[in-house]
Amino acid sequence: MKRTFALILAALAAAALFAGLVHAVLVATHLSEPAAITVYGLTARRFWATAVALLALVGVVIGGLALVRPASRFGASSGPLRAIMALAAGLIAAVNGGLVLAVAKGGPGTGNGVVGGAGALVLGLVALVLGGMALVRSRRS
């Protein structure tokens, strides 16, 4: 019971930290003001930002798995492969998230995908850190 409570508390803390970092990125890029006219539906830039955010999330999961389980049933070489995959996904996501924010002409609700771009930037950097830590760990063993 205590472990479940600790996991739930850690998940809530991670979600709050993620939301705070996304807001900090939006404030730093001067894109935190909501739109006067809200655009509903999926636009091309929202799709781009969502796809990149999903890629970043996959990179975080792969990096976490590479860090927790450096060697798996596929052999010892799967640890560095996972770490490199997390690094590549994180780099692609961080660069594309930054590009989404760079070309945006308004804040949340404008259809430019700024929230997804900020999320992709934050998660991409997390994937880069996890992949780098896993790569260093796999090189040591």
pLDDT at position 62 is 92
pLDDT in tens, the chain (141 residues): 788 888 888 888 888 888 888 888 888 887 777 777 777 888 888 999 999 999 999 999 999 888 887 665 555 556 688 889 999 999 999 999 999 988 888 778 888 888 899 999 999 999 999 999 988 888 776
pLDDT at position 12 is 85
Exposed, middle or buried: residue 77 (CB in 10 Å: 0-12, 13-18, 19+)?
Answer: exposed
Residue 52's alpha-carbon distances to 10, 17, 108, 113, 139, in angstroms, are: 25, 20, 17, 11, 29
Q: How many domains does the chain have?
A: 1
Q: What is the pTM of this model?
A: 0.82
pLDDT at position 71 is 63
Range of the domain at 93: 2-140
In degrees and rounded to multiples of 5, residue 36 shows phi and psi of -70, -40
